Structure 1
Amino acid sequence: MSTADDPDLADIQRAHWQDTYATHPGMYGERPSAPAVHAARAFRSAGAQDVLELGAGHGRDALFFAREGFAVRATDFSSVGLEQLQRAARARGVEERVSCVAHDVRDPLPLPDASVDAVYAHMLLCMALSTKEVHALADEVRRVLRPGGVFVYTVRHTGDAHYGVGTGHGDDIWEHGGFAVHFFSRELVQALADGWRLDEVFACEEGDLPRRLWRITQCLPR
């Protein structure tokens, strides 16, 4: 059995996503995800003007945020996905509101302290990241958010049908069909909310399996 501390796992996953986006451009379609629609409402209610999206992929949600009037910083470790996002932003006339940066979330976020109003991550935290790396990323999100900023993220959880299926890498990370997923426990969600105002942990589903998710909304105190 591999372990979550294996430094090669995330690199293998990066190559897998690069190939997947290249083979299936625009694989998630153009419609925004349901969590993005919720996030836009939460961000607008908080008075946010700019959004950092982590794990933007080919950009269906980033483009939606831009159409909703937000300035969007989109990051992903797949340059192929981001190239598709940039082309789509130009085609839809929102390129001035979308900036793209290739970035591995195992590294510090390339932004100054207290520099964004809102952060969004749809199933990014539950990729091939160890619990230690997830906590480090949450700390980085807290660092770059302005006081009162909102963080909306989704994760697959331990009630998902694929939990415990396939190749185990330790630390609740299971690989199925070439994709490694860190399935979150409720305890991990609570731990990541320490020092935040936890507004909601909402159970939802996505896809044909269906994938079982939690959509978490939390706010940084002012």
Structure 2
Amino acid sequence: MHHEHDLPAEQRRHWEQVYRENPDMYGLEPSEPALFAAELMREHQAHNVLELGAGHGRDALHFARCGLNVHATDISESALEQLRAHARAAGLDVHTAVHDVREPLPHEDASMDVVFAHMLLCMALSTGEIRAATSEIARVLRPGGHLVYTVRHTGDAHYGTGTPHGDDIYEHGGFAVHFFSREHVDALASGWQLLEVHPFEEGSLPRRLWRVTQRKP
């Protein structure tokens, strides 16, 4: 187990470099979870959506194209610069803020209809930090609002391999991932209505993930 360096700071530097050197690294087409979330928002007549870990904005831009009031945060300023450039070019309005999910969210209580996070909660976050982030998400969601998040899980091919950092966090190629067990998903849903845990695959490995949908009572 590695303790000789500051993993969160190292990951911040890594993601900033990755986005700076690989513009639009995930393409501009929305992810499958974002398409699902957009349909959920349409069904529930949502207006305000917060995306955590928005990156260069492929999903935030899709939400904006759907007519939603979009707030997007990411730890990388370079990523958000790309997002803002694409939004300007498309005539879309997306509110952006550099933010580390370990810190309190810069949004008011009950101000969001939906919070969306594609692979943000399975970054190099401790279990305690993930629980705190989930509490913050509950704070900014209105009653009856939805959280849709995706995480790589313990059935993924990379789980248990690479550089271990404890707490089910393993690092491959500079990317540290916290792999979720089903028990972890259920624990995070305590106090929520857990609506669905949907397994899916993404990428060339492929990465194995869950798309989790839960509602604030």
Q: TM-score, normalised by structure 2?
A: 0.98
Query: C-alpha separation between the residues in 2 aligned to 1:128 and 1:198?
Result: 24
Q: How does 1:131-150 map to 2 (within 5 A)?
A: 131-150=127-146
Show the counterpart of 1:185: 181
Whether 1:87 aligns to 2:61 is no
Letter in 1 for 2:58: R
Aligned residues: 217
Contact 1:46 1:149 in 2 (8 A): no
Query: C-alpha separation between the residues in 1 aligned to 2:123 and 2:17?
Result: 16
Show the counterpart of 1:2: 2
Q: How does 1:22-33 map to 2 (within 5 A)?
A: 22-33=20-31
Deviating above 2 A after TM superposition, structure 1's stretches of 4 or more consecutive aligned residues are: none
Q: Cα offset for 1:50? A: 1.0
Letter in 2 for 1:2: H
Q: How does 1:63-212 map to 2 (within 5 A)?
A: 63-94=61-92, 96=93, 98-212=94-208
Letter in 2 for 1:166: G
State the SS of the aligned residue for 1:65. helix
Letter in 1 for 2:46: A
- Flag the 1:59–1:112 CA change in 2: closer, same or farther, 3 A: same
Show the counterpart of 2:51: 53
Letter in 1 for 2:2: S
Contact 1:166 1:175 in 2 (8 A): yes
Q: Cα offset for 1:99? A: 0.6
Query: C-alpha separation between the residues in 2 aligned to 1:44 and 1:168?
Result: 41
Identity score, percent: 64
Show the counterpart of 1:13: 11
Q: What CA deviation, in whole Å up to 9, does each residue of 1:106-159 have, x standing for no partner?
A: 000011111111100000000000000000000000000001101000000000
Q: What CA deviation, in whole Å up to 9, does each residue of 1:19-78 have, x standing for no partner?
A: 101111000001000000001111222221010000000000000000011110000010
Contact 2:48 2:111 in 1 (8 A): no
What's the Cα RMSD here?
A: 1.0
Query: C-alpha separation between the residues in 2 aligned to 1:212 and 1:28?
Result: 17
Q: What CA deviation, in whole Å up to 9, does each residue of 1:149-200 have, x standing for no partner?
A: 0100000000000001110000000000110000000001000111111110
Structure 1 unaligned regions, length at least 5: none
Show the counterpart of 1:40: 38
Q: Cα offset for 1:11? A: 1.0
State the SS of the aligned residue for 1:170. coil
State the SS of the aligned residue for 2:164. strand
Q: Cα offset for 1:7? A: 7.8
